[in-house]
């Protein structure tokens, strides 16, 4: 394992803040791009469905970049890798702000997504290395707070900036945030030495462990329900609940508050009972997603359901810690792959939800789709938990 110089006790919170700031920048660009879509589609002279490919290009970059960068950079120290990843992120977003054509923006968004998963994975490992073992999930939760707070503050600000000054400024402000993160990481994060035994081959060893695959599948399926609902939430609010367009951002903000609350509260329980907490979160999500379907007729009830769905988003933090447990000496790749799994969920959930809507089942049918996905994730979790409890290893395990 990478050796890290221990910082003074009072500086650990500052290190976590610096790492969370990078998460804030990543969360802002990931979610704000959706809200900026009407602006850059008009600016580049393309229709909305075509502009949607820009969002898909970023997600593809996350899925591809997480394992590739984690393996390729196995011999770098973690602090150096964080700087390199955030520099790549700053460059990708800076180029996005200057993109002259749709096709160039497509390429630049793909490049922006490449460091996403690896950054969160390595930042989580650094955060955990600075705290006692019984505080690991709480440390990961603090890093993920950057992403959740971005849905409350960063996304609305980037969207406002895009409307006032032009869509390019929405990417420009993210570039500035990335550069500030680089400066803080260099100044605050403790220097460390790379593990002398680290190698790309050792990182790839994570893929031979069945529990790693079961954990990734739990996230890829179980988290898909959240995205099935979130993607079509604005349309559901206007078409079913009957609210005005100006009310939609407030409900979206409640979703972000729910995610933030989840990442503040759930890790405390996960540090005592990690796997049971993951299972309960999946059942919580299934119930909340089912409630969404029957609560859409009233603003107060759908808002409560949206908060509960967001709260279930703490599953990402819990599974991040679980991967650290089952990856053994291939920590970097496994931690990064967590975000590839969630971006797979981000593709699967909206696709299945869209099929239900197109099939004539209505906007609220996404809640039933989401509940089914959460239960599917729970079934995979149950297999993983049973194998762990029995001491058996999945067939892929070496």
Residue 341 clears pLDDT 50, i.e. is over it: yes
Between CA 370 and CA 377, with CA 371 as vertex, the angle to 5 degrees is 90
Measure the CA angle with vertex 296, ends 290 and 301; round to 5°. 85
Q: 338 falls in which pLDDT band (50, 70, 90)?
A: confident
Residue 308 pLDDT exceeds 90: yes
- In the DSSP assignment, the letter for residue 223 is T
Burial class of residue 166 (count of CB atoms within 10 Å of its CB; 0-12, 13-18, 19+) = middle
Rounded CA-CA distance 215/368 in Å is 23
- pLDDT at position 233 is 83
Fold of the domain built from segment(s) 1-196:
Growth Hormone; Chain: A; (1.20.1250)
Query: What is the spatial distance between Cα 16 and Cα 284, in angstroms, rounded to a whole number?
Result: 28
- Helix 274-295 and helix 315-327: axis angle, to 10°? 150
CA distance 330 to 114: 20
Per residue in 58-94, pLDDT tens?
Answer: 888 888 887 788 777 767 788 888 999 999 999 999 9
pLDDT at 9: 47
Q: How confident is the model at residue 228 (pLDDT cuts 50, 70, 90)?
A: confident
Q: Is the pLDDT of residue 254 over 60?
A: yes
pLDDT at 272 over 60: yes
Give the per-residue pLDDT at 197. 57
Beta strands (DSSP E) in the chain are 3-4, 192-193
Separation CA 30–CA 316 (nearest Å): 16
Say how far apart CA 142 and CA 135 lie, in whole Å. Answer: 11
- Binned at pLDDT 50, 70 and 90, residue 181 comes out as very high
For residue 12, which of 127, 156, 147 has the smallest C-alpha distance?
127
DSSP letter, residue 208: G
Out of 186-200, 235-249, 344-358, 372-386, least confident range:
186-200
**What pLDDT, on a 0 to 100 scale, did the predictor assign at position 276?**
94
**258 confidence band (pLDDT: 50, 70, 90):** very high
pLDDT at res. 20: 93
Q: Is the pLDDT of residue 262 over 80?
A: yes
In the chain, residues under CATH classification 1.20.1250.20 are: 1-196, 199-398
The answer to whether residues 23 and 17 touch, using CB atoms and an 8 Å cutoff, is no
57 in Cβ contact with 109 (< 8 Å): yes
Structural tokens at position 50: 């075509």
Residue 3 has pLDDT above 50, yes or no: no
Homologous superfamily (CATH) of 199-398 is: MFS general substrate transporter like domains (1.20.1250.20)
- Residue 35's pLDDT band (cuts 50, 70, 90): low
Whether residue 2 is predicted with pLDDT greater than 90 in this model: the reply is no
Cα separation, 114 vs 90, in Å, equals 11
Q: Is the pLDDT of residue 240 over 50?
A: yes
Mean pLDDT of the chain: 84
pLDDT band at 5; cut points 50, 70, 90:
very low
Per cent of the chain over pLDDT 70 is 89
Looking at the predicted structure, is the pLDDT value of residue 1 above 50? no
């Amino acid at each position: 394992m990478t050796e890290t110089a221990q910082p003074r006790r009072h500086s650990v919170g500052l290190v976590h803040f610096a790492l969370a700031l990078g998460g804030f920048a990543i969360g802002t660009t990931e979610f704000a791009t959706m809200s900026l879509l009407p602006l850059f589609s008009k600016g580049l002279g393309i229709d909305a469905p075509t502009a949607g490919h820009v969002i898909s290009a970023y997600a593809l970059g996350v899925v591809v970049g997480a394992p590739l960068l984690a393996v390729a950079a196995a011999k770098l120290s973690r602090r150096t890798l964080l700087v390199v990843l955030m520099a790549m992120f700053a460059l990708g977003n800076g180029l996005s702000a200057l993109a002259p054509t749709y096709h160039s923006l497509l390429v630049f968004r793909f490049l922006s997504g490449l460091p996403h998963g690896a950054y969160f994975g390595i930042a989580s490992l650094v955060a955990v290395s600075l705290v006692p073992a019984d505080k690991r999930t709480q440390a990961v939760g603090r890093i993920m707070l950057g992403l959740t707070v971005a849905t409350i503050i960063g996304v609305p600000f980037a969207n406002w900036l895009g409307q006032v000054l032009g869509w390019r400024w929405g990417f420009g402000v993210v570039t500035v945030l990335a550069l500030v993160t680089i400066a803080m990481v260099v100044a605050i994060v403790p220097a460390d030495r790379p593990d002398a035994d680290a190698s790309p081959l050792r990182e790839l060893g994570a893929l031979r462990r069945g529990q790693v695959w079961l954990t990734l599948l739990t996230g890829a399926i179980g988290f898909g329900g959240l995205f099935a609902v979130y993607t079509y939430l604005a349309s559901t609010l206007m078409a079913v609940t009957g609210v005005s367009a100006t009310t939609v951002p407030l409900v979206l903000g409640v979703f972000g508050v729910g995610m933030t609350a989840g990442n503040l509260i759930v890790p405390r329980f996960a540090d005592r009972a990690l796997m049971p907490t993951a299972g309960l979160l999946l059942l919580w999500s299934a119930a909340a997603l089912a409630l969404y379907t029957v609560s859409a007729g009233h603003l107060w009830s759908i808002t409560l359901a949206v908060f509960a769905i967001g709260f279930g988003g703490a599953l990402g933090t819990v599974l991040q810690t679980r991967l650290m447990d089952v990856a053994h000496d291939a920590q970097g790749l496994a931690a990064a792959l967590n975000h590839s799994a969630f971006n797979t969920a981000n593709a699967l959930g909206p696709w299945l939800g869209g099929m239900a809507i197109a099939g004539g089942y209505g906007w609220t049918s996404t809640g039933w789709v989401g509940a089914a996905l959460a239960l599917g994730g729970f079934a995979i979790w149950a297999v993983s938990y049973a194998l762990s409890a029995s001491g058996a290893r999945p067939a892929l395990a070496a």
